[in-house]
Chain A
């Protein structure tokens, strides 16, 4: 077999040489970028596969025709997913992303050759073609998917007699998507994929018996490895990989997306080792091992959850929370209208309020947590509020089922004037019984409290269900605000809500205003109040004196 390569990247040249050696193939480097030269080389060498970096002067389609003419497969080595997409469009039989490993190059050469034998992969419709590609290679990582690599895993198992499978389970709290939007979640997934890829390439630069695989339609990864040296050595290696990978992923997500978001993600590694058994089909053994490793990863996750519940109990017992007060300003005058109190756990693993609540829900301690946070939120600021300023407190529909909240004595909490308190209803749990809920609201309203509804405009609830609650404030969902200055659909939606609010006698609050242009736009649209990092960073109050 002959491989003809027109490649300048020294890394890739080295990987190619290693791969060629493994494949027992002859490797020829073309010396010139001219199309005529490459075509001549193809005609002379009769290669099985042609490996190219994208060359700007020559359309890939032309090179593909040259390769086809002498029945050679075309493999394109790109530097970005855009290169890969261009290669797919041009009809390359296979692509790979740099940096890469010899093992990857080898596998891709084989796939390219196998595929070039298939009459034509150019499906009539590009969308289908792209979907087909995604089935074989993960778009984010460039890792092959399981069906592509199962054959290699089999070979290792058959040759070595054993194979260790590490299942890398990436989990995130649903709140990431709800709070930050799917684009942000996609960015986080992108970061983790890049970190996994980097980890693999750095740890196993030229290892023949370590394979990394992306799990289709999921954000999990599988690592096949031959971890020799007996049970104990294997355990140590697994632990080492888990720690290294978990650590580097957390660092990357934290560096690129902030501590708050990083707290909402976790990585769990589970392992299983399978041994060759002549009575059982090798493939089945491998799939069984994957399931086992997956279960182990989930139980690692459960362990951590159990740990978090223990931390939460301690947090509630010790009152180990601190409050952040996010200012809300009057859009027209830029004066401080009030503050929204947000809680954070003092323990690192419970820092994020989303995690706090999610863990409390699992531990069945939502009411206890809410009571603590309400008390802290009021205590931390009530004596510093100016007479015309308001305090926004988050409450969940769930809280209204708590007798301690329902019979709340404002004086006991230190609230002298309930009309300065705005209860902000976040729909963490859905409102199931509307008539009863409205009754609850009435009893609070009669005592003077005001209400805000959170996250309006994004969910499936229309304006009608907001009207049912007759709020004093309507808080716009963050997804409506980001880049509102250039999105006319968002402007229209916000303007509709402002008109609606005015007809209902309510004020509109824009949350998450980060850029001056966004602020100018919401001001022009008549949004009454604004909240976001553009104006004030939150004030921290550590009210921990228990």
Chain B
């Protein structure tokens, strides 16, 4: 199960680095993208099980990317976890409308990230 790739999308290189290091140390395969366009190209290339998606990005924002992924017939099995600096109710409602499966509030606590990834992988396993 640990071999399913996780795609991390964030325009902040240091955030990408931390998340990648952590996930790799947990035994996951990790792919990276710095913006929405790259994220969609990576979707094609690696077909990840989980996408960790930053909301605030230049160009296409995270909500838009989530919408595209969640509406795409090839990606019905992909779980989308939003990384968001805001955690108020309306922000989460936006996530609901975009079709997100989970969210993590930034700054990211690695332990919480690990838990979220694990429960989403488990939920994904159930759905199949």
> With an 8 A cutoff between CB atoms, is B44 at the interface?
yes
Please name all residues of chain B whose beta carbon is closer than 8 Å to the beta carbon of A460 when the two chains form the complex: 90, 93
The answer to whether A127 and B40 touch (CB under 8 A), given A487-B101, A492-B92, A493-B96, is: yes
Q: A-facing mask of B98-128, CB < 8 A → 1, else 0?
A: 0011110000000000001001100110110
Are A487 and B44 in contact, CB atoms less than 8 angstroms apart?
no
> With an 8 A cutoff between CB atoms, is B18 at the interface?
no
Are B73 and A488 in contact, CB atoms less than 8 angstroms apart?
no
Are A480 and B73 in contact, CB atoms less than 8 angstroms apart?
no
Are B126 and A486 in contact, CB atoms less than 8 angstroms apart?
yes
CB of B1 to closest CB in A, whole Å: 16
> With an 8 A cutoff between CB atoms, is A120 at the interface?
no
The answer to whether A486 and B123 touch (CB under 8 A), given A462-B90, A479-B96, A492-B92, is: yes
Q: B-facing mask of A452-468, CB < 8 A → 1, else 0?
A: 00000110101100000
Are B73 and A81 in contact, CB atoms less than 8 angstroms apart?
yes
CB of B43 to closest CB in A, whole Å: 8
Are A85 and B101 in contact, CB atoms less than 8 angstroms apart?
no
Are A488 and B41 in contact, CB atoms less than 8 angstroms apart?
no
Please name all residues of chain B whose beta carbon is closer than 8 Å to the beta carbon of A492 when the two chains form the complex: 92, 103
Please name all residues of chain B whose beta carbon is closer than 8 Å to the beta carbon of A85 when the two chains form the complex: 73-74
Please name all residues of chain A whose beta carbon is closer than 8 Å to the beta carbon of B74 when the two chains form the complex: 82, 85
The answer to whether A488 and B93 touch (CB under 8 A), given A82-B74, A127-B40, is: no
Task: Tell me the chain A residues, 463-498 only, with Cβ under 8 Å from chain B.
Answer: 463, 479-480, 485-490, 492-493, 496
Please name all residues of chain A whose beta carbon is closer than 8 Å to the beta carbon of B92 when the two chains form the complex: 489, 492-493, 496
Give the size range of B's interface with the partner: 20 to 34
Please name all residues of chain B whose beta carbon is closer than 8 Å to the beta carbon of A480 when the two chains form the complex: 96
Mostly, the A contact residues are helix
CB of B35 to closest CB in A, whole Å: 11
> With an 8 A cutoff between CB atoms, is A125 at the interface?
yes
Are A125 and B96 in contact, CB atoms less than 8 angstroms apart?
no
CB of B30 to closest CB in A, whole Å: 20
CB of A137 to closest CB in B, whole Å: 15
The answer to whether A496 and B89 touch (CB under 8 A), given A486-B127, A489-B95, is: yes
CB of A412 to closest CB in B, whole Å: 41
CB of B41 to closest CB in A, whole Å: 6
Q: How far is the CA of A126 from the CA of B44 in the complex (A)?
A: 8
> With an 8 A cutoff between CB atoms, is A436 at the interface?
no
Q: A-facing mask of B32-69, CB < 8 A → 1, else 0?
A: 00000100110010000000000000000000000010
CB of A401 to closest CB in B, whole Å: 29
Q: Which of B89, B90, B116, B127 contacts A488 (CB 8 A)?
A: B116
Are A489 and B68 in contact, CB atoms less than 8 angstroms apart?
no
CB of A31 to closest CB in B, whole Å: 33
Are B40 and A488 in contact, CB atoms less than 8 angstroms apart?
no
Select from chain A the residue with minimum beta-carbon distance to B70: A183
Q: Which of A81, A463, A479 contacts B89 (CB 8 A)?
A: A463
Q: B-facing mask of A49-91, CB < 8 A → 1, else 0?
A: 0000000000000000000000000000000011001000100
5 A-B pairs with C-beta separation under 8 A: A125-B41, A127-B68, A457-B93, A486-B101, A493-B93
Residues of A at under 8 Å CB distance from B?
A: 81-82, 85, 89, 125-127, 186, 457-458, 460, 462-463, 479-480, 485-490, 492-493, 496
